[in-house]
Each structure stands twice: as C-alpha cells, then as structure tokens.
C-alpha cells in the first residue's frame, strides 16, 4: 500500500515537472488543433495582420516592438510549431531579444494560430530560410 502511495506521488511530480518544460507536447495541456485540421495561409495572413503585426512587423519582418518571425532562429528546427502555440497561449518571457516580454494573445484560438503558423512557414520558405 505504502509503495502505491509513493508511486502516485512520483507520478504527480513527474507530470508537474513535465508541464514546466518548454518542449512538452500537447500532453502538457497546451491547446492545439486536431491532427486533421487543415490550416490556410491566406486566413493566416489576415489573422497575422490583425493580431501579430503590431509587434512582429509588416510581413513578419520585425518592428520596434518585436522581432522578425521571418528569421533563421524561428525556422521549424529551432522553433517548432509547438513554440508558436505556446507563445500565443502563454506569452513569451524575453530571452532572445531586448524587446521585452510577449503577452499571451487570448483573442487567437488554436485553429487561428495554426493558420498563422502556416502563413509564417510559407513566408520563411519563400525567403529561403528553410
């Protein structure tokens, strides 16, 4: 019986620690769209302009308030799609740049985020970043 209690505690701790990890998947409770969801770059561009452009600039090339997303450090191997869902859902503590923190963007749901990611990946690809 004692070992069962101990095992439960270990499990809870394991889950709790995993939640903190930046690379944890949707298992951490991060809302992402269903696997079969088809994102669309045209929707993504409009949503980007509405919700992200203020800081990430026209065509995601950066502004005085935020970094460019069409940039080598945001290509899929460095910042997988999950880090975009994470940024939108939870905000970002400043770590790469000196613009300050990014707030969470509660007006953008996971499907809308998927459209935006599709658009950003399309532009990164067009710019020869990956």
Q: Is there a contact between 39 and 81 (Cβ–Cβ < 8 Å)?
A: no
By the rule CB under 6 A, 30 interacts with ligand HEC = no
Tokens, residue 23: 């690379």
Least distance in angstroms from the C-beta of 128 to ligand HEC: 19
Task: Return the closest-CA partner of residue 56 out of 106, 110, 107, 117.
Answer: 117
Q: How many residues bind ligand HEC (CB under 6 A)?
A: 25
- The binder of ligand HEC chosen from 13, 103, 109, 125 (CB under 6 A): 103
Output the CA torsion sign for 48, 54, 59, 62. negative
CA distance 86 to 95: 15
Which residue in 54, 109, 126, 130 binds ligand HEC (CB under 6 A)? Answer: 54
Residues in contact with ligand HEC by the rule CB under 6 A: 51-52, 54-56, 65-67, 79, 83-84, 87-88, 92, 94-97, 99-100, 102-103, 105, 108, 116
């Amino acid at each position: 019986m004692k070992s069962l209690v101990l095992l439960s505690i270990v499990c809870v701790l394991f889950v709790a620690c995993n939640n903190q990890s930046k690379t944890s998947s949707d298992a951490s409770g991060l809302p992402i769209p269903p696997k079969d969801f088809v994102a669309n770059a045209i929707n993504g561009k409009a949503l980007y302009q509405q919700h992200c452009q203020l800081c990430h600039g026209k065509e995601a090339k950066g502004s005085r308030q935020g970094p460019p997303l069409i940039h080598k450090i945001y290509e899929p191997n460095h910042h997988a799609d999950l880090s975009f869902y994470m940024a939108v859902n939870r905000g970002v503590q400043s770590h790469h740049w000196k613009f300050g923190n990014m707030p969470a963007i509660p007006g953008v749901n996971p499907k809308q985020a998927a459209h935006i990611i599709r658009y950003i990946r399309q532009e990164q690809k067009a710019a020869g970043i990956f």
